[in-house]
Amino acid sequence: MEHEDDLRIREKVRAHEQTPGALDKDRLWSVLALPGSARPAKRIAVYYAAASLILAAAVIFYSLELTHRKALELRLAEIELSLKQEKIPETAAMNPVAQEVACPEAEQRPKPQLARRTNLRKPVVVPENNAAHESTPPLPPVVALHAVPEPSLETITNQAPVTQPIEDQHAPAKVILGKSLSPSSVTKQGRLTFRLFLDEDNKSAAPLNATPVVTLAGINN
């Protein structure tokens, strides 16, 4: 019996201890907060209230500003309209110079005629009996253009042409600097002479000074 009572009390108390307790935030913050400082929850609420007040004041100010601006615009529009309506008679009375003056009829000038193309190739026929054109100078007669002579016909033959090809007619003289190709240019020592021009007969073209001897040993290797 006593043991059963003790067991019953034990079960109840242990079940109660295993039940999680509710968190008391205010008490917790009061324990954790530094001494002398306000509670963070209250501080945050104050901040929220201040921010909402500022926001509301800004919204109210902006709406008032908008309505005031609209009223100003309406008033300006009315003033402009009234000014426009009164402007015409007022300007006439204030500024007589600006009045419209009736001008006499303008002299009618002959309308300028469009210029037309004149065909110079066509022979101009000058009417004889037209008195209006007598004062104008006579036009020169049409002159035939200088005809290009036709080229003479050439017969086709099998003989080779005598004339030099067009390429070589005006080509400059070929100059070889260095090795000469003719066998006579090789001296007794087996050295190659130095020639300036291709034409070997034209000795006047050779330099007055002795031809420099260039040794090209092993060039044929």
Partner 1 sequence: MFRLACRYIRSSTDSEDVLVMAFTKVFANIHGFDTRGDGSLEGWIRKVVVNESLMWLRRRHNFNMTESIEGNTDYVDLGGFSQLPVEEICRFIAELPNGYRTVFNLFVIEGYNHAEIAAMLEISENTSRTQLFKAKALLKKILTREGFHYGT
- Binding residues for partner 1, rule: CB under 8 A, are 1-2, 5-6, 8-10, 12-17, 21
- Give the strand pairing for 213-214 and 175-179: unpaired
Q: Which is nearer to partner 1, 12 or 69 (by Cβ)?
A: 12
Q: Considering the complex, state which of residue 13 and residue 59 has its C-beta at the smaller distance from partner 1.
A: 13
**Token pair belonging to 110:** 């002959």
Q: How far is the CB of 28 from partner 1 (least distance, A)?
A: 11
Min CB(18)–partner 1 separation in Å = 9
Task: Pick the closer one to partner 1 by CB: 11 or 80.
Answer: 11
Question: Quick one: 28 or 83, whose CB is closer to partner 1?
Answer: 28
Minimum Å gap between C-beta 41 and partner 1 is: 21
Burial of 194 (0-12, 13-18, 19+ CB in 10 A): middle
Tell me how crowded residue 192 is: count the other CB atoms within 10 A of its CB.
18
User: Could you please report the per-residue DSSP string of 63-114?
Assistant: HHHHHHHHHHHHHHHHHHHHHHHHHHHHHHHH-GGGS--PPPPPPPPPPPPP
Least distance to partner 1, CB of residue 35, Å: 16
Rounded Cα distance, 9 and 3, in Å: 10
